[in-house]
A = this chain, B = another copy of it.
Amino acid sequence: MKFRAEIDVMPLKELLDPQGKAVEQSLEKLNFDNINDVRIGKHITIKISADSKEAAQVKIEEACKKLLANPIMEGFRYEIFQD
């Protein structure tokens, strides 16, 4: 079966996010009021073939831990959809 994983890798809440801060300031200069706490991370989509949704989930979890997210600085979450 074919699945699609939608993964977000975001900087941990405890850490500063200079890229997000820069975008927040740019939005203020463009007169966007009432906007705050902009945080920027990565969005990753992966197509994966597996016998079941659970098997796909195990693979994606492993890929996040081994390669996609740096656990010192980033957290991740994902959803898996049947394609």
Contact = CB atoms under 8 A, between A and B. Distances in A.
Given A26-B67, A32-B59, A59-B35, A9 B47 contact: no
Copies in the complex: 2
A62 B38 CA distance: 15
Nearest to A37: B47
Given A23-B68, A26-B67, A45 B35 contact: no
A61 to B, nearest CB: 12
Nearest to A34: B49
Helix, strand, loop or mixed for chain A's interface?
strand
Interface residues of A, number: 32
A73 interface: no
Interface in A13-41: 20, 23, 26-27, 30, 32, 34-41
